[in-house]
Amino acid sequence: MVHRLARGGHLARTLGVLDGNEKSKLYREHIEDIVVSNKVAVDSVEIINLVSRGSIATSFSDAEIFETQKADYDKYVFEPVGFEVYDVKVSRWNRTGSTFAYGQAQNPKFAGGETALAIFSIFARRKAS
């Protein structure tokens, strides 16, 4: 099952929010809520693949990136609905020369240091009951 949202949907979902970073955060959370809702994650769904843009601390290993993404997405997105992250693929996102306007909310848990933009492909599997 594929759920598509209309282009510009984030504007309709975040009316009254002036801060661009906060708009991005609220929209991402809204998409996560849709993906794990009982209308999308129906009983026959065994695997969810959620893709998200963000940034990574360049000092982190692939194992550290996996562990931090898994901990965050399990706690706030997947575990409450009976899923668990089992894989995270990271693609570095080189935007050199791009005019694409991209904002993201501040992460109070960020380790600090040099960062690189990335696209995360997060795979979660339904837990056995």
122: enclosing H helix or E strand: strand 115-126
Q: Which residues contact 110 (CB under 8 A, 6 or more apart)?
A: 57
Mean pLDDT of 16-20: 66
Higher pLDDT, 44 or 8: 44
Together in a domain, 77 and 129: yes
Number of domains in the chain: 2
Together in a domain, 30 and 6: yes
What pLDDT, in 10s, does the model give residues 68-122? 999 999 999 999 999 999 999 998 877 777 776 555 545 555 555 677 888 899 9
What CATH number is attached to the domain comprising 124? 3.30.1490
CA angle 27, 51, 28 (to 5 degrees): 10
What is the structure's pLDDT at 19? 67
What is the structure's pLDDT at 49? 94
Residue 102 belongs to a domain = no
Residue 68 belongs to a domain = yes
Mean pLDDT of 15-22: 67
48: enclosing H helix or E strand: strand 47-57
Q: CA quadruple 23, 28, 29, 33: dihedral positive or negative? A: positive
**15-29, 36-50, 56-70: which range is least confident on average?**
15-29
What is the structure's pLDDT at 104? 52
Residue 104 belongs to a domain = no
**DSSP secondary structure string, 55-119?**
EEETTS-HHHHHHHHHHHHIIIIIGGGTEEEEEEEEEE---TT----------TT---S-EEEEE
Residue 105 belongs to a domain = no
Q: Position 102: which residue type? A: Y
Together in a domain, 91 and 126: yes
Q: What is the mean pLDDT of the chain?
A: 79
Residue 84 belongs to a domain = yes
What is the structure's pLDDT at 113? 65
Q: Domain range for residue 13?
A: 1-35
